[in-house]
Structure 1
Amino acid sequence: MRPARFHQFAIDTLPKAPDVQAVEDGGESGRPYSLHVTFTNGSQVWIGVTGTLAPGDKYDIAEQPVHGDAPSEIPYPPLFDSGSVTPATAQAYLAAATTNTGNTEILAAEPYNDDDVQNPGFGVTFHNGAKIWCLFTHTARAGQARGSRAYDLQGSF
């Protein structure tokens, strides 16, 4: 799945997760694909979406989706810690939400290493070998606007 199609897929499917209130285009200048996720407590995360093509694929030819078994559903990990969201809980939750979509193009969705709090997010691998990386660029508490400095994430939001 290429970044453009993943972008729309995420907007359409991630709001079905129990603690996701809304997902919309992130509207980040300089990023053709970004997401703005609002959780049910009002916490927000902006995500830059990038990816690599499947081996042998080229952008100048039509995408040929490859289907296989969808990943098995997994339990949603806890998202809220004392009412707030952290980058670590958000990345695990959104990876689970992506896994649980039942999409037959997805091989796996995994959060980035919990120890790497400097660059939180999650990755998605597809049956055709393509990959998508979802890197957190901004966070905000309920009612706050997106900060002006990318990658300067709040410890809890």
Structure 2
Amino acid sequence: MRPARYQQFAIDTYRAAGLAAEPWEEGTRRPYGVCVTLPSGARLWHAITAQARPGDDGSQPEEPVVKEAPNPLPLPEIETGRVPVPRLELYLSALINNAGSGEIESVYGYSDRSTPPTTPGFGVRFWSEARIYAPFVRSAAPGGRDGGAAFDLPAEI
């Protein structure tokens, strides 16, 4: 799944779960991303970057590979108060995993990897061998405006 289509898929998935979500971009630096508003009113901005499937020609129409959707993952609860970033990582990755897309092979949180992440976020593996990466870029407390410096995230949002 290419980044533009994934961006809309993620927005639709978040909205179906009752979250507010909208497209976000920072010009050519981060052309794709999503701003998600949590039940508390806090916001999280995550980028969308991609690794194309082998042999993919971006000038040609996309050729999705569809197989079986991944098994559902437990959906952690997120309260209306502050949410620890690792729990938010698990929550958003479970929403994407559980959306029922037959293009998705698996979804993982960066914190689940054996090497500790420098940036929280999650990744999506597709049956086509393409990948999407969704690093968390910034956050804002309820009522906060711009989300602060890139990749300077608090322990809780």
TM-score by length of 1: 0.90
Q: Aligned Cα RMSD in Å? A: 1.7
3-state secondary structure, aligned to 2:137: strand
Contact 2:139/2:147, CA 8 A, preserved across alignment: yes
Question: What is the 5 A alignment of 1:8-47?
Answer: 8-17=8-17, 20-29=18-27, 30-47=29-46
Residue 100 of structure 1 corresponds to which residue in structure 2? 98
3-state secondary structure, aligned to 2:144: coil
Tell me the amino acid that sits aligned with residue 112 of structure 1.
Answer: Y
Distance 1:38 1:52, change over 3 A: same
Contact 2:140/2:148, CA 8 A, preserved across alignment: no
Tell me the amino acid that sits aligned with residue 156 of structure 2.
Answer: S
Contact 1:87/1:117, CA 8 A, preserved across alignment: no
Q: Distance in 1 between matches of 2:89 and 2:146?
A: 18
* Cα offset, 1:117, TM superposition: 5.6
Q: Distance in 2 between matches of 1:148 and 1:87?
A: 16
User: 5+ residue gaps in structure 1?
Assistant: none
* Cα offset, 1:111, TM superposition: 0.6
Residue 156 of structure 1 corresponds to which residue in structure 2? 156
Residue 133 of structure 2 corresponds to which residue in structure 1? 133
TM-score by length of 2: 0.90
Aligned residues: 154
User: 5+ residue gaps in structure 2?
Assistant: none
Q: Distance in 1 between matches of 2:81 and 2:147?
A: 21
Q: Distance in 1 between matches of 2:11 and 2:5?
A: 10
* Cα offset, 1:83, TM superposition: 2.2
Q: Distance in 2 between matches of 1:40 and 1:83?
A: 8
Q: Which has the higher strand share?
A: 1
Q: Distance in 2 between matches of 1:69 and 1:56?
A: 23
Q: Distance in 2 between matches of 1:113 and 1:148?
A: 22
Q: In percent, how many aligned pairs have the same letter?
A: 38
Contact 1:140/1:154, CA 8 A, preserved across alignment: no
Contact 2:109/2:121, CA 8 A, preserved across alignment: yes
Deviations 1:37-65 (A, max 9, x none): 11111121100100011111121221100
3-state secondary structure, aligned to 2:11: helix
